[in-house]
Structure 1
Amino acid sequence: MAVAGSAAVLAAPRARAQTLLDEKDPQAAALGYVADAKRVDTKKYPKFAAGQHCGNCALFQGKATDKAGGCPLFGAKQVAGAGWCSAWAKKAG
């Protein structure tokens, strides 16, 4: 029984969902982050191009098809795969 209980404790951190980044977070707001790239303010961010989103950004720590993933700019919070911010950089390859 002790072994099964230990395995459950070790698995618990992975099972915990990570927090999604809030657009109102100060760092997110400073970088113009939106959870849906279709809502980018193109007047404020004229370098935005259709098709850019977190899922195809070099900083995105996940698969391009993931609904959310990590980004080193936002610490432990996850960004939406469909999101965008002004730090977007084309993924190599």
Structure 2
Amino acid sequence: MGILDLLGLGNKTNDIQEYVEKGAVILDVRTTEEYNDGHIEGSKNIALQVLHSKISEIKKWNKPVIACCRSGVRSAQATSILKENGIDCINGGGWTSLQSKL
């Protein structure tokens, strides 16, 4: 793992494909308004602001998670929160970029 990977700037395509193969859920952590303006088909929307209160719901999915947002900043925060709560997850970055890797 290189420094770019640690910063979330490395090539994530292989990691994303691994998570897709494991049946990962795409979790979009943007606001409902942003999500409604465009999103990855089949993704779930839980805004970063309420993520803490939805941890038990996410755990019930019993699947790994690929978090995304507009640019990758909020999804990085969401990934930290999810990992702290024992959820297998990866930061997928911005949703449009992620969509092109799926």
Normalised by the size of structure 2, how large is the TM-score? 0.28
Higher strand share: 2
Higher helix share: 2
